Structure 1
Amino acid sequence: MASKLLQLQSKACQATKFVTQHGTTYYKQLLEQNKQYIQEPPTVETCNLLAKQLLYTRLASIPGRRDAFWKEVDYVKNLWKNRQDLKVEDAGIAALFGLECFAWFCAGEIVGRGFTFTGYYV
C-alpha cells in the first residue's frame, strides 16, 4: 500500500511539473483560439450582465419549447389513434426508447445508492 502511495505521489509531482511548464502556453493558446467568444472588457460586471442575459434568454425560450413539446404530444396521440397503421420499425424505435429510459433510471438508482446493487451497505 505504501508503494502505491509513493507511485501516486510521484505521478502527481510529474503532473504538477508538466502543468507548471506548459500550463501558461496552453492557457494563452486556448484564449487565442476562442477569442471570438470573449466579451470585452472582461470584467465582473460584464460577466454579471452575460449571466442575466443567459437567464432571461432561457426564460424567454420556454414558450417556444412548450409549444414544441405539445406538438410532440399531439404527434404521439395521433400515432396511438392510428396504431393499426403503425409500422414495425416505429414500434421498435418506441420500444428501444422506452428500454433506454428504463436503463437510465436503473443506472441512476444504482448510482444514487452508492453503486450497490442490493441497496444495503455492507
Structure 2
Amino acid sequence: MSKIAIKISPNDALHTYIVSLRKYTGLGITDIKNKIENEDCFAEVDANDIDDMQNLKGLVDNLLKLGVKVKLFERDEYGDGIFDYQEISHQEFMNHMNRLEEIMEELQDYDDALVDTST
C-alpha cells in the first residue's frame, strides 16, 4: 500500500501554522514542535483513499498559503525502496490526486451503469 506524508521545514513563524497542524493531526503543540525539529513526517495517509488525500491536499494548500515550506513524500512498501519515503514534487502529488479522482469518477459511472442495466 502506498502512503503519502509531509515534512515541514522549521522556521520562526510556527505560531502561524501550528493551529492547522494541530487541527489536522490531533497532536499537542510540543509533539508538533518535536516532529518539526526532528524533521519527522506528519499526516501519513493511504495514497489510494480519496477522502484522506483530499484532506491532506487541503492541509498542504493551507500551509503553502501561509508560506510554510512543505515537502511531500511517498512510500511504496512494494517498490524498490521498501518502506522508505522518497520525496515527490507538488506536481506529482497533484497528478496523483487528479488520477485518483478520475478513477473514482469512472468507478461511479460503472456502478451507475450496473444499476441502470439491472432495473
Structure-2-length-normalised TM-score: 0.30
The answer to which structure, 1 or 2, has the higher relative contact order (CA under 8 A, 6+ apart) is: 2
Larger radius of gyration: 1
Structure-1-length-normalised TM-score: 0.30
User: Which is helix-richer, 1 or 2?
Assistant: 1
